Amino acid sequence: CYCCVLPSAFRTMTEDAVKVCVRFRPLLCIYPSELPRGSSGRVHRHVLLFADRVFTAEESTDQLYRDIAKPLVVSTVGGYNGTMFAYGQTCSGKTFTMMGSEHAPGVIPLAMEDVFQTIKKKEFLLRVSYMEIYNETVTDLLVDHWKRKPLEVREGMNVSSPQSQQSGHVC
């Protein structure tokens, strides 16, 4: 399983500004260590102690999107700041949930679809950047592959952050 963390104006479940949700993925028989041993129920009960919402293996990405991401998208388009990120060990399902596939789109394409559906009816400036932090290297993913070089990480109040060196795309 992995966790989604949702700070900001997201207030549908309690009044806390940060929500932690856990999604279980089905056991995958391609990993021998995951062959079912009937212990998932016990794990579930422990997770419930700290999560605001637990998504079982039977729940779809669509369901997860409707329950936790869409309210965040709506409040963000309304002018609030919002962040959603996924973390978890390798193969826990972060990419599956956030990116998905052509047939089962993940949270990011579903959110983009919703954003564009909403803003097409009004005048709106949308600026998009896309970066990867991998092994402490920050990369701008909107730059052509052959032109990419690591973004510099600087600290301090008056120096630019990685984001300010990034390409920004106005849609």
Ligand X SMILES: Nc1ncnc2c1ncn2[C@@H]1O[C@H](COP(=O)(O)OP(=O)(O)OP(=O)(O)O)[C@@H](O)[C@H]1O
The residue ranges that bind ligand X (CB under 6 A) are 25-26, 28, 88, 90-96
Q: How far apart are CA 48 and CA 71, in angstroms?
A: 22
User: Closer to ligand X at the Cβ: 28 or 142?
Assistant: 28
Is 90 marked as a binding-site residue?
Answer: yes
What is the nearest approach in angstroms of ligand X to the Cβ of residue 6?
Answer: 18
Q: How far apart are CA 80 and CA 101, in angstroms?
A: 29
Q: Which residues contact 110 (CB under 8 A, 6 or more apart)?
A: 61, 62, 65, 69, 70, 100
Is 93 marked as a binding-site residue?
Answer: yes
Which residue's Cβ has the minimum distance to ligand X? 93
What is the nearest approach in angstroms of ligand X to the Cβ of residue 34?
Answer: 10
Is 89 marked as a binding-site residue?
Answer: yes
Cβ pair 107, 69 in contact under 8 A: yes
- Annotated binding-site residue numbers for ATP: 88-95
